[in-house]
Amino acid sequence: MKILVTGGAGFIGSAVVRLAIARGHQVVNVDALTYAACLENLASVAEAPGYAFEQADIRDGAALAQVFARHKPDWVMHLAAESHVDRSIDGPGVFIETNVMGTYQMLSAARHYWEEEGRPEHFRFHHISTDEVFGSLPADPSVKFTEDTAYDPRSPYSASKAGSDHLVRAWHETYGLPVVLTNCSNNYGPFHFPEKLIPVIILNALAGKPLPIYGDGSNIRDWLYVEDHADALLLVVEKGQLGRSYNIGGENERTNLELVKTLCAILDQKRPKESGSYADQITFVTDRPGHDARYAIDPSRIRTELGWRPSVTVEEGLEKTVQWYLDNEPWWRALQNRAGVGQRLGKG
């Protein structure tokens, strides 16, 4: 299939592009190359015959119309977004523009193209979203997000993603656009931009800097290896039922403090300090305003209906991730110079 992937120069998008090319699909990567983008993530596929890159902004309807007309995709996988919660606290405007208005422009361009082409049956518009649209869970481990959980977004980021989810559903109900949606838990793995928790911890540890834990570190996240997410996304765009959403998670709940201690233990083994443990660098800092207490996904639907399973445990995935950062210093060094990276953002 020919897949138009938006945000393919980002963390998850690049994993989707690499996997799609490896599976024999053609890919058109549409990305504006914001601060979060890195074309190096695609070095392994850049010369592949099935790969094309279009630098375009999803807020630019005219540019999107040209991209659709030129490439005539079979499927759209829409990942382009502003994705960092802390940045959404300091500057929510661009989150609304890109995540809400950009998704509207994507839907308009996709609908126009799909209608011009005679409404091909195989066409899909897949919106990639987050579990953060569901808000925050209580501590009770039996309570998890299902596809029927009511939306309750609490940060500008999650509110903008909730808005875009609603638009995608509306284009299905109103115009019949063939859509599928996914809501995924926190991803981690290779090529994770060095402003997110896991790379920040690994890179600060190696630099001998404090390892910042927001609040008391009790916030729980459900971690999924990015390549397993990419695998799930390709399954949903191919086999998902139209108009349906699928929750994707790794069933790997960890408090932030547990996660950071695990990363420190892996680093202690792989690159021991002269004395002591990396965990000695843990420092508790001011909490994020409105910091959601717990996210946890019930992935029963994608497991039972589509047969998806993650391929690695969180221990295996974290081990691979730490090793990747140890082996790829030039990649992350270059990104550490980008605006805002390494600074505490989103204190409110």
Binding site for ligand NAD (CB under 6 A): 6-7, 9-13, 31-34, 36-37, 57-59, 79-83, 98, 102, 128-130, 161, 184, 186-187, 193
Spatial neighbors of 295 by CB under 8 A, at least 6 apart, are: 131, 132, 134, 136, 137, 145, 185, 186, 220, 221, 222
Residues 29 and 52 sit within 8 Å (Cβ to Cβ): yes
Shortest Å distance, C-beta 295 to ligand NAD: 10
Q: Determine the residue with CB nearest ligand NAD.
A: 10
Shortest Å distance, C-beta 195 to ligand NAD: 9
CA distance 213 to 205: 13
Shortest Å distance, C-beta 13 to ligand NAD: 5
Question: Which of residues 9 and 341 has its CB atom nearest to ligand NAD in the complex?
Answer: 9
Residues identified as active-site? 131-132, 157
Query: What dihedral angle (degrees, nearest 10) is formed by the CA atoms of 125, 123, 175, 64?
Result: 60
CA distance 342 to 299: 34
Question: Which of residues 8 and 278 has its CB atom nearest to ligand NAD in the complex?
Answer: 8
SS3 for 241?
coil
Question: Which of residues 186 and 321 has its CB atom nearest to ligand NAD in the complex?
Answer: 186
Residue type, 138: P
Residue type, 271: R
CA distance 249 to 134: 14
Question: Which of residues 221 and 261 has its CB atom nearest to ligand NAD in the complex?
Answer: 221
Shortest Å distance, C-beta 35 to ligand NAD: 8
Question: Which of residues 61 and 217 has its CB atom nearest to ligand NAD in the complex?
Answer: 61
Shortest Å distance, C-beta 292 to ligand NAD: 13
CA distance 115 to 117: 5
Q: In this structure, are strands 51-55 and 75-78 parallel, antiparallel, or unpaired?
A: unpaired
Q: How many CA atoms lie within 13 A of 333 on its CB side?
A: 7
Question: Which of residues 97 and 305 has its CB atom nearest to ligand NAD in the complex?
Answer: 97
Backbone angles phi, psi at 82, to 5 degrees: -80, 130
Q: Which residue has the tokens 């596929």?
A: 45
User: Exposed/middle/buried for 173, CB within 10 Å: 0-12, 13-18, 19+?
Assistant: exposed
Shortest Å distance, C-beta 277 to ligand NAD: 27
Q: How many residues does the chain have?
A: 348
SS3 for 248?
strand
